[in-house]
Amino acid sequence: MSRSISLAVIPGDGIGPEVVAEGLKVLAAVLPQDVKLETKSYELGAKRWHETGETLTDAELARLKEHDAILLGAVGDPSVPSGVLERGLLLKLRFAFDHHVNLRPSKLFPGVKSPLAGEPEIDFIVVREGTEGPYVGNGGSLRTGTPHEVATEVSLNTAFGIERVVRDAYARAQARPRKKLTLVHKNNVLVYAGHLWKNVFDKVGEEFPEVSTDYLHVDAATIFFVTQPERFDVIVTDNLFGDILTDLAAAVTGGIGLAASGNINPSGDFPSMFEPVHGSAPDIAGQGKADPTATVLSVALLLRHLGYTDEAARIEAAVSVDLAGRGAAAVGHRGTAGIGDALAARVSG
Amino acid sequence: MSRSISLAVIPGDGIGPEVVAEGLKVLAAVLPQDVKLETKSYELGAKRWHETGETLTDAELARLKEHDAILLGAVGDPSVPSGVLERGLLLKLRFAFDHHVNLRPSKLFPGVKSPLAGEPEIDFIVVREGTEGPYVGNGGSLRTGTPHEVATEVSLNTAFGIERVVRDAYARAQARPRKKLTLVHKNNVLVYAGHLWKNVFDKVGEEFPEVSTDYLHVDAATIFFVTQPERFDVIVTDNLFGDILTDLAAAVTGGIGLAASGNINPSGDFPSMFEPVHGSAPDIAGQGKADPTATVLSVALLLRHLGYTDEAARIEAAVSVDLAGRGAAAVGHRGTAGIGDALAARVSG
Ligand SMILES: CC(C)[C@H](C(=O)O)[C@@H](O)C(=O)O
Ligand SMILES: CC(C)[C@H](C(=O)O)[C@@H](O)C(=O)O
């Protein structure tokens, strides 16, 4: 295991810097003394775009590539046209660094209130494909702005791209007690992409005889997310369906304030990036009201990815205890920094 | 108003015939004596496909076109490869008859148990575009079945197609007490299609100054469906997002056993088609366990579309009373026919 971590930090906009500060606090507290942590901050996001018109330069991309991992807070602001930072920064990073495993665990921690009745048991992970599907940016518009405009979006799907993420998902299912993998797609309508997904899913499954599998259409999957979420263990799905399902999963497990994610390149050829699922929430920025838990849990994913398994588990345990003691208040009187302090105290020593 | 109705009936597979029988029972009971109801049954679906390899012939399409409306139960069976009946029958009808307004009301009726905690008030309608987007079937696959396969799906969106459904949605919002319309898309990633939707939405909105509007990304919309469903009044969205959102909407309002839908061509150039949102549920077919309520509510949509407003309202009122009296059991000892009998008795006289 490497005994040093070179971490790129993109605090971003809105509540991004606040939650990232707490994530780094907990990271520093959990790491053994002999691990050298070096962080470098990259000022990317809305402010930067307003000032320079840049979202992410090639030079920055090259420098980011040299780090072991990236921690991102949140980017975005209503003052920036929709799509600019998403395509020019967030998705650019995912595509440039080939983050094909977009990992999003969903767990209803004890003590956390779900909007679902009856205190369901929820503990699954979604493995969302991160570099293909409708996210490739392959589209266009003709006669733009006229009553005759036509706009297209092309979903691109490759056997290569699907196979690697599906295999990753099988391996994750194999390593979990229930060993269950669900493929979600819409193969009764999107027959070309859907059948490719299904065929690859079935074929790779032959390598994992212990893993039990099933298939759900995306519309049906949303039903089970609210009526029977305990049926899920690992889910593998395409980029867009994964985007939708993981927000819903976050909602039923207590909100995006708690949902962590990793944009992972398992090969290690490029740094993987970890970020809370929530956005920059400019309405509550700077008020100490943001819950840093999703960022802290993203730090745990980051550590596990870099091989610091015990440290990751310690963070998750600390979060679990903290959440159990919170009562109804999500953030409460402790505020963003107070929660970070409490978690840092719990993981250290 | 025409004092005769020529109705095409597609009972379909699984529970389709059972629920359609009850829908027709209630329809017959609610219609004034002087309205002549003629029904003609079309044997389409899995059985027909197994016997003949046909899903829907041009001759059938031509005959269906002559009716005032179509009532469909459900089609599909695990024995038929995924996509065959969907593309060859269901979607073929929607596209051939230009059903661009896919109307799906979502209401949590008093007495019905939602999987959401805290008995939320839910009463919104989703206007789903029905003839464009990723549903157009414009895709393909290259090097099929090899490790180098590439599969595409093209989402096609036109200003013409979006404008007509958006205008329909505004008009529906305008006619409701809250007068609120929410556009759902993913315009931060699907920038070409998303911006077209948003521009058309804003432009058509100028014609409806009384309607208040907002915009949500589809992922965020799923969160609000479970945390704050009362915020919605009318939603307009694309074909695929509408598919996903309406299953979720059905789930939070008590299940797809209650969710009705209309595939509407407002021009009247082609017959509109009404169907429950649920599928053919072969596992419970023929056992009298299926809830015919979604089909009965679809009959109400059908009647309203044909101008029988009072009759539609009477059906909805009857369903409301019936649901309020059911208690925990969705179908219970009365069975499919028992519920149909009860509703027929309530609407007649
Ligand atoms: C901001 C946006 C580009 C992003 C996505 O769609 O992937 C977000 O919703 C997410 O889930 O990380
Ligand atoms: C069966 C399928 C083609 C259909 C759709 O995707 O539209 C169904 O899910 C629906 O919502 O009516």
Burial class (CB in 10 A: 0-12, 13-18, 19+), A320: middle
**Ligand 2 pocket: which of B77, B82, B91, B126 to mutate (most atoms within 8 A of CB):** B91
Q: Which residues of chain A are modeled with pLDDT < 70?
A: 1-2, 349
Instruction: Please answer yes or no on whether B193 and A153 come within 8 Å at the CB atom.
Output: yes
Task: Decide if A154 touches B, using CB distance below 8 A.
Answer: yes
Are residues B165 and B100 in contact, defined by beta-carbon separation less than 8 angstroms?
Answer: yes
What pLDDT is recorded for position A349? Answer: 64
Distance from CA of B26 to the nearest CA of A (A): 28
CATH 3.40.718.10 segments of chain A? 1-108+259-349, 114-253
What pLDDT is recorded for position A327? Answer: 79
φ, ψ (nearest 5 deg) of residue A211 = -85, 125
- Beta-bridge partner residues of A37: A5
φ, ψ (nearest 5 deg) of residue B61 = -60, -45
Of A312-316, B113-117, B262-266, B331-335, minimum mean pLDDT range: B331-335
Report the percent of chain B where pLDDT is more than 90: 95
Cβ–ligand 2 contact at A219 (below 6 Å)? yes
Residue B168 corresponds to which amino acid? D
In the sheet with A123-129, reading across from the earlier edge strand, the strands are: A36-41, A4-12, A69-74, A272-276, A260-264, A101-107, A123-129, A234-237, A180-185, A212-217
Cβ–ligand 1 contact at B33 (below 6 Å)? no
Displacement of CA B52 from its chain's centroid (Å): 28
What pLDDT is recorded for position B283? Answer: 96
Burial class (CB in 10 A: 0-12, 13-18, 19+), B65: middle
Residue B1 has pLDDT above 60, yes or no: no
Mean pLDDT to the nearest integer, B263-292: 96
Task: Please provide the CATH number assigned to the domain covering B114-253.
Answer: 3.40.718.10
Say which ligand is closest to the CA of A74.
1
Q: Which CATH number fits domain A1-108+259-349: 3.40.50.2000, 3.40.718.10, 2.160.10.10, 3.40.50.1370?
A: 3.40.718.10
DSSP codes, A52-66? HS-S--HHHHHHHHT
CA of A247, closest atom in ligand 1: 11
Say which ligand is closest to the CA of A248.
1
CATH 3.40.718.10 segments of chain B? 1-100+270-349, 114-253
Task: Please provide the CATH number assigned to the domain covering B1-100+270-349.
Answer: 3.40.718.10
CA of A90, closest atom in ligand 1: 3
Residue B164 has pLDDT above 60, yes or no: yes
Q: What is the C-alpha separation between A245 and A100, in angstroms, rounded? A: 17
Per-residue pLDDT tens over the stretch B96-153: 999 999 999 999 999 999 999 999 999 999 999 999 999 999 999 999 999 999 999 9
Residue B219 has pLDDT above 80, yes or no: yes
What pLDDT is recorded for position B349? Answer: 64
Six-digit token pair at A54? 């840049």
What pLDDT is recorded for position B3? Answer: 87
Of A115, A163, A188, the CB nearest to B117: A115
Six-digit token pair at A98? 């080939």
Is residue A86 classed as helix, strand or coil in its secondary structure? Answer: helix
What pLDDT is recorded for position A331? Answer: 86
A261 is in an annotated binding site: no
Q: What is the C-alpha separation between A227 and B256, in angstroms, rounded? A: 11
What CA–CA distances, in Å, run from B120 to A36, A119, B64, B178, B254? 51, 17, 41, 17, 12
Cβ–ligand 1 contact at A248 (below 6 Å)? no
Per-residue pLDDT tens over the stretch B6-40: 999 999 999 999 999 999 999 999 999 999 999 99
Instruction: Please answer yes or no on whether A116 and B226 come within 8 Å at the CB atom.
Output: yes
What pLDDT is recorded for position B329? Answer: 72
Residue B337 has pLDDT above 90, yes or no: yes
Q: What is the C-alpha separation between A129 and A76, in angstroms, rounded? A: 23
pTM higher than 0.85 for the full model?
yes
